Amino acid sequence: MIDTIKEHLEEVKKFSSTSKEDIEAFRIKYLGKKGLLNSFFAEFKNVPNGQKKEFGQVINQLKTSATEKVNTLKEALENQAETQGEYGDLTRPGEPIEIGSRHPISIVKNRIIDIFSRIGFNVSEGPEIEDDWHNFTALNLPEYHPARDMQDTFFIQTDPDILLRTHTSSVQVRYMENNQPPIRTISPGRVYRNEAISARSHCFFHQVEGLYVDKNVSFADLKQTLQYFTTEMFGKSKIRLRPSYFPFTEPSAEVDVYWGLETETDYRMTKGTGWLEIMGCGMVDPNVLQNCGIDPEVYSGFAFGMGIDRIALLLHQIPDIRLLSENDLRFLKQFKSSL
């Protein structure tokens, strides 16, 4: 009988399984109510007195070994289940990373920056909270100048000299104060005006303004630069410049591109004329150059500015400017494949 128990001891030591059913069957075989251990304990009374001590030791050893084996295998099985629950099946292929979407404002801004960078324009940036000097006075808009009424401004209530910038021309002033000609830069950024919010206007929007200052810069240089931009941006080479007024440029002009009248949308956007206004421009007023520490007797320059939002609405046929700032994923996901 003792030899039989020792054979079971070897069997217990060799047993191994990762199956919950096999481990349970092993437990029942040795530790169940009708298991082998209870049978061996029942035989104890029939063992000769001289063998009782050794018989008892072997049975206890079998019980201990079987119990430890069951506990060890169950613990390993539980640890494996916890790992799978936390990380899943580590052998399966990884989940594909979803490609994000670029905002239409970013798409248009990046295209504009790329086009002008090819002809030597760098990018300059400045603060959105600006002072009166950089936003108005340095740009030939002294206090009480009637042209200030053209831009409904958000002033900081605690300090009437501080405001939310109404255009990125303030960045050009800062750039001219810290850099000497030749200057060739564009200034993209967000601007703020106290306007009623509708499908066509918002209290904040985005602009790109450009500046070129050097010796002997002429209006012809401005026109050729804008001709290049409209051809690269819209694929339209026909433009016209209409006389206009801006306090910081003289002479000034509005730039129209001939969009055409091929579709009903073209008729609606151009009001049946085929011409679409895209930006304002002009030669930098000598007073502005002087305010920024540049000698207007030696240098001249041109400037231009356009709304990124308006171009985004145009290129992507977006009917409502408010869609650009509402963070609606259904709208934004349409631009997933755009660069």
Q: Which pLDDT value is given to residue 152?
A: 80
Q: Which pLDDT value is given to residue 215?
A: 96
pLDDT band at 64 (very low <50, low <70, confident <90, very high): confident
Instruction: Decide which of 184 and 158 is more confident.
Output: 184
Tell me the C-alpha distance between 273 and 260, whole Å.
8
Q: Are 113 and 186 in contact (CB under 8 A)?
A: yes
Burial of 92 (0-12, 13-18, 19+ CB in 10 A): exposed
| CB-CB neighbours of 193 under 10 Å | 18
Position 233 pLDDT exceeds 60: yes
Token pair listed for 164: 């939310």
Position 160 pLDDT exceeds 80: no
pLDDT band at 302 (very low <50, low <70, confident <90, very high): very high
Look up the pTM and report it.
0.68
Residue 254 known to bind ligand: no
Q: Which pLDDT value is given to residue 35?
A: 77
In CATH terms, is domain 104-335 a member of 3.30.930.10? yes
Which positions ≥6 away from 130 have C-beta within 8 Å?
162, 163, 164, 165, 170
pLDDT band at 159 (very low <50, low <70, confident <90, very high): confident
Burial of 55 (0-12, 13-18, 19+ CB in 10 A): buried
Given the structure tokens 């709208």, which residue do they identify? 331
pLDDT band at 154 (very low <50, low <70, confident <90, very high): confident
Q: pLDDT tens across 70-127, in order?
A: 888 888 877 776 655 555 666 777 777 777 788 999 999 999 999 999 999 999 999 9
List helix spans (H) across the chain: 2-14, 20-31, 36-42, 52-87, 104-117, 132-135, 169-178, 219-234, 264-270, 286-291, 308-316, 329-332
